[in-house]
Structure 1
Amino acid sequence: MAHTIASCHRLLDVIDYVEEDPRVQVVFTVAPDVFNQQVARHLERLGALVLPWQQAIRERFDLGIAASWGGLHQLHTPLLVMAHGAGRSKRVRPGPYGGPPLADRAVYGLDAQRLTYGGRVLPSTLALSHEHELEVLRLQCPEALEVATVVGDPCFDRLVASLPRRPEYRHGMGIEDHQELLLVSSTWGPDGLYGHFPDLLPLLMAQLPAGRYRVAALLHPAVWDAHGHRQVRAWLRSCTEAGLLLPDPTQDWRALVVAADHIIGDHGSVTAYAAAVGRRILTLPTPRTMPVAGTPQQLVTAEATPLDPHRALLPQLVAAREIDRQAVTAALTGHPGQAARLLRRAIYRLLGITEPGRHRRVTPVPVPRLHHREATQ
């Protein structure tokens, strides 16, 4: 069940563990979500078999896999549910009539409102990235503990597997050997980097020496869906004409993280993943958002060098300090390098068929072919 482009990225990683098995037929459906506009088109470009949602909720399946929550109670299937980002780091948003302070709200994705429906626990298996999520679950929805299992983070494992291909990624993006790549990453919403300070990208393009630095922008897929692809490209047209790399949200973002020398980010998952593989991080403080304590996003937010957009940017970029990558990794995944094995085992157990003895290694992400001239099309 693909709710958004972001969740679709995670599902495609995990489906790869079983898709080659001739006993398994994989079908996709676009689940209800406010940011699902581009999902069907993306899946069709990949050649996936896509069922309409109204058909999917009438049929019975041996297993359903999801990385978000909308409409799951309508399905007739055992469910494996996982996060689509770096663990669960956000609090439940307040309702229209307010609610408790942010720090007292439940952790999103580990709360009873998401995990239960009509008095029953929705997932047959709830895949967690880290043991600390078990402790949160114990407080917020103890009835779901019996279906929870810590599997690690498949996205992080694939990112690590991609690190040796850094020269190929840089060449594929047109980055010269003498150039440094600055990646600007923004999550969605008004507290995301782009929503909070949209002038940062024009400032970077104006201030950084063009011969030495290339700049790429990774905007969360929800930014593109909320405003429209045409509008986002229009807002950034002067930047792309000046050389900004602006990948489509359907492209695999991990190649850019591997290729980057510097990251300017926010409290989103990409910043946490980048810190876990040793990239230097600058963060732009946001007014309201504070990730859940103990998560990699909270660690990065607390430890990264703060960026002051009102001062010269180049000296701040050069002075950015390293974050303890081992500490970030330890907060990110409870089983580094093991997510494919553990998730594959859970999938076959739910399907009720024997797990094949052979298993593909975790593969690097594809080499991008993106130049700034292509990004403006």
Structure 2
Amino acid sequence: MSHSNIRNKIEQLLSSADIKIGGNRPWDIQVHNDDFYSRLLAKGSLGLGESYIDGWWDCDRLDKFFHKILQAKLDTKIKTRTEFFEVLKSKLINLQKPSRAFQIGLQHYDIGNDLYRHMLDKWLIYSCGYWNNASTLDEAQEAKMDMVCRKLDLLQGMRVLDIGCGWGGAAKFAAERYKVEVVGITVSKEQARFGKEFCKGLPVEIYLQDFRSLKGTFDRIFSLGMFEHVGYKNYVTFFRVVKNCLKKDGLFLLQTIGNNRSVTKTDPWINRYIFPKSMIPSAKQICAGIEGLFVLEDWHNFGADYDKTLMHWFWNFHENWDAIKKKYGESFYRMWKYYLLLSAGSFRARDNQLWQIVLSANGVPGIYKSIR
């Protein structure tokens, strides 16, 4: 295909999403390198992201650009050989097996606590906030954590497990506000190190540990934004581990990004640059994983709140960039900006969801009272 034909094809695709090359609207793009078109056609989403990092194109509002791209479902219009082999690999190999469990910690969560302290709220919560009555990021994250504690009906003295505890913010919140004992696990060395200091003086223990090696029993268990790293081949294993660790009258709350369709892989660019071996589950996949193990008590979707959370993360990251740019560099800035605003656009387009799911080991007597 000639260069002009490739460019025309890309222009037509973008036009169907109301995006113009060289246009003057915030979501229009400016192309600086003519090789952009062939790179996009050959490599799809991977080529789109890599060419942005390389400075081949720009857009004033990437969040609006991706909102339009995903609303028009352009992500389904270009298929590449790379994507075919990624699907094949995910079918043949357990990409999230125990020997790979700590890879995500090294590549994403261990890149620098300074980055996350400049981007996140005061609790360092790296999952969706709850904006129902909140006006700031701190308020939204506290509202989310308080809702989690109320959904679990936490009572003083309970023993609680946090699977994927991050920097310890949710464990600290639960211990301080609800007077419970918390055990948190993470696959990130930096998170574990920071979390132990952050929760010092509280009945909180934090371990560097894969979920598959969990032992002990707990009154309540929660997991906020970790399930996306489990992988579809391990869903049943994950839920069995939770069931084995949960008391017979216990409750488990799972917060996860949700997919509108069942897949076995993630976006190629996200997989290479942001979250290696990650995968967003569908409702069907989650329900298949819990079948015969749990009673489904409550399913709450507030995916639109992740758009707002991600925009606040980006604003914090952008406004504080001068403090950390010497360490990370311009290419990192473009990569991280792309990641945050791509993600915001995906929730705005309702291409991704955010679910809080409450499960009981044997069914709550009478009726479970939903909390919002």
TM-score, with structure 2 as normaliser: 0.34
